[in-house]
Structure 1
Amino acid sequence: MEPRLNFYKASPDAMKALGTLEQHIAKCGLEKQLVELVRLRASQINGCAYCVDLHAADALKADEAPRRLATLSVWQETPFFNDRERAALAWTEAVTLVSETHVPDAVWEQIRPHFTPEEIVDLTLLVSTINAWNRFAIAFRKLPA
């Protein structure tokens, strides 16, 4: 597979806009490990090799346990994630697959006890932003280094 287009060079202003979203995410208060788990899980669902590679490495740098990373794709069947993380991962999957799930009420009820309204908005922005990055990387064939 060959890269199709360097989207950073083709439209720097578009990438700057995504960067502004990332700046908000970085300062919003969600835990770094949780942020990387969400980015990695959405990237796994979307099949984005570049982002899976990047966010697995970033999660390790944030002191994430390799065992948890190895089992992230089957998080529902492992005891390695706490209730807050499980709620965030369920939300991530439902929002990433919005055309299929329409974000069911059960997932909404699962997230509400573990996140404030502001955190739910920030988490949704995080999920939406990584989905945007995945689409750029996949569409333009950005490859892991």
Structure 2
Amino acid sequence: MKILLSSFLIFCISNAAIAKDDITQRSYDDVQFKNNLLTTNQTNYLKIPKDWAHAYGSDSTTLTHLDANLAELVRLRVGQLDNCNYCVILHTRQTVKLGIPTAKVSSLSTWQQSHLFTDKEKAALAFAESLSGVNHANFQPAYEKLIEAKFSNPEIEELTNVVILMNIWSRIFMVQGKFSERPSE
């Protein structure tokens, strides 16, 4: 895993894409975000996750194997698991933008008790939960469900990067103290 992550980070550094907009600075008409803790970037610690986001984030154009709607459901679920306010707001908005049914988005936190999700979606969500929580006991069965659900190796690779990227961002936003606020009037 360390070799995979190191190789990928080197790839990101050498193949950095230019952002459409800065993911760490987004706000919306009805909500703004403020960093209440770490507000600096003197060591450029945000460069690697930003580069990675261009490859595996919501605005990515490089995800070629994993279904965009499935990737967005996974991003939102990981944001919920990590209790990341910014992530939940951003990825809920992305699901709406993609046209994912409201009932499915609303029941994402209870997907195990829902028949709204396909077997493939359920396998991806179980994998994301296991990987996010680093639950070694559940990881092997979750991985095997991906195989049973007919995920290809490239889909599993992209799914893995989507989940890990979400975990990284939620932790960065926690350190930044990124809280939602009402817009100033």
Which of the pair has more CA radius of gyration? Answer: 2
Question: Which among 43, 53, 73 is matched to residue 79 of structure 2?
Answer: 43
Please identify runs of 4+ aligned residues in structure 1 that moved more than 3 A.
100-103
Instruction: Report the RMSD for the aligned CA atoms in angstroms.
Output: 1.9
2:102 corresponds to: 66
Question: Which among 9, 12, 18 is matched to residue 49 of structure 2?
Answer: 18
Q: Determine which structure has the larger helix proportion and give its number.
A: 1
The one-letter amino acid of 1:4's match is: L
The question of 1:77 aligning with 2:113 is answered: yes
The question of 1:108 aligning with 2:139 is answered: no
- Any idea what SS the aligned residue of 1:115 has? coil
Distance change (3 Å), C-alpha of 1:70 and 1:136: same
The one-letter amino acid of 1:109's match is: E
Deviations along 1:99-123, whole A, 9 cap, x unmatched?
A: x345432111100132111111111
Using the alignment, how far apart are the partners of 1:144 and 1:58 within structure 2?
17
The question of 1:52 aligning with 2:83 is answered: no
- Any idea what SS the aligned residue of 1:14 has? coil
Using the alignment, how far apart are the partners of 2:127 and 2:42 within structure 1?
31
Structure 2: tracts of 5 or more residues without a match:
1-33
Q: Determine which structure has the larger strand proportion and give its number.
A: 2
The question of 1:5 aligning with 2:38 is answered: yes
C-alpha contact (below 8 Å) 1:54/1:144 kept by paired residues = no
